[in-house]
Structure 1
Amino acid sequence: MLDQNHTNNPFENKVRVRVCGLLKENEEILLLKHDQIGPAGYLWSPPGGGVSFGASVEETLKQEFLEETNLEVAVGDYLFTNEFISEKHHAIELFFTVERISGNLQLGKDPELADDEQILSEIRFFSPEELNNLPELTIHNAFLAAGARDKITDLRGLITFKH
């Protein structure tokens, strides 16, 4: 498992550009549970990941969705940028809508992490009521900026969250 205090954590002590996709079907939003992340010990977050040098944002988002969810998606509208800054992490995240093209939903893995360090543990769609009832410390901070969490696709502009 990924050790948050381990000095080789690939996500710490650098600015990381990420891309995230909001897949909404039947008014429900798809989220992944990331273990060992955040103050509650886990975090529900949209599929996505780090943009590698030479890869476009759109290519990255499609690849991350396939790796993490087994779904092929079409990238839709750019919505907003979320900047997260903490003692060890600094992420600039670009949020887009996505639409399912094909595939059967299945929990995948993060290829940036070794098999014994995987942090993805669950995948599911959340109804508006379920989203709004998730404890604040267990959901990606961008949902908190939306007010009613199911309205995240209404956000625009820059959101900055310092922890």
Structure 2
Amino acid sequence: MDAPNEEVSRLYGNRLRLRVCGLCRDGDRLLMVRHRNIGPANTFWSPPGGGVEFGEKAPDALIREFAEETGLTVSVGDLLFVNEVIAKPLHAVELFFVAQVRTGLLRLGIDPEMGLMNQLIDDVRFMQFDEIKALPADEVHALFRHCNSLDDVFELHGYMH
């Protein structure tokens, strides 16, 4: 069986991938998902999200991804910004939406694309902005480099890379 990094490269590498991500706020905390074996530090925190399937509308994909990764049912709000990531062999265009919890209990979810022995998600929780900013830069999504507060996250707009 492939190692997780090899499986990620095999599944998502050497092609453009459209992703949706949800910024889900609970007061002064933001919902974050930790993936193992991603990035140079082999751990990576980011807002919930994932790939859009052919024929699937972006908001529907985000609802599905939240259910898979967090157990939560969300409503999808405004599109805030677009982020492009090129870290060969990966290339993704990410659409960041506001997401609000409607129902469900927060739980550790799964990546259905990955084998049971190669699951990437190993933590999911609401985090204070200071906790997020305290993470090493290579262990957290690049969007946080542009922000000094949680309010700043929701003020991002346009194209980022």
Bin for the TM-score computed over the shorter chain:
over 0.9
| Paired residues of 2:9 and 2:90 also in contact (CA < 8 A) | no
Q: Which amino acid aligns with 2:113?
A: E
Instruction: Measure the CA separation in 2 of the matches of 1:142 and 1:120.
Output: 20
Instruction: Measure the CA separation in 1 of the matches of 2:108 and 2:47.
Output: 13
Runs of 4+ in 1 over 6 A off after TM superposition: none
Q: 1:2 to 1:20 in 2, by over 3 A?
A: farther
State the superposition RMSD in angstroms: 1.5
Q: TM-score by structure 2 length? A: 0.93
Q: Which amino acid aligns with 1:48?
A: G
Q: Any gaps of 5 or more consecutive residues in structure 1?
A: none
Instruction: Measure the CA separation in 2 of the matches of 1:33 and 1:98.
Output: 18
Instruction: Measure the CA separation in 1 of the matches of 2:147 and 2:47.
Output: 17
Q: Any gaps of 5 or more consecutive residues in structure 2?
A: none
Instruction: Measure the CA separation in 1 of the matches of 2:127 and 2:39.
Output: 20
Task: Answer with 7-16 or 87-96: which moved more.
Answer: 7-16
| Paired residues of 1:12 and 1:88 also in contact (CA < 8 A) | yes
Q: 1:122 to 1:80 in 2, by over 3 A?
A: same
Q: 1:148 matched to which residue of 2? A: 148
Q: Number of aligned residue pairs: give it.
A: 159
Q: Which amino acid aligns with 1:75?
A: V
| Paired residues of 2:20 and 2:62 also in contact (CA < 8 A) | yes
| Paired residues of 1:3 and 1:9 also in contact (CA < 8 A) | no
Please tell me whether residue 13 in structure 1 is matched to residue 25 in structure 2: no
Q: TM-score by structure 1 length? A: 0.92
SS of equivalent to 1:109: coil
| Paired residues of 1:18 and 1:92 also in contact (CA < 8 A) | yes
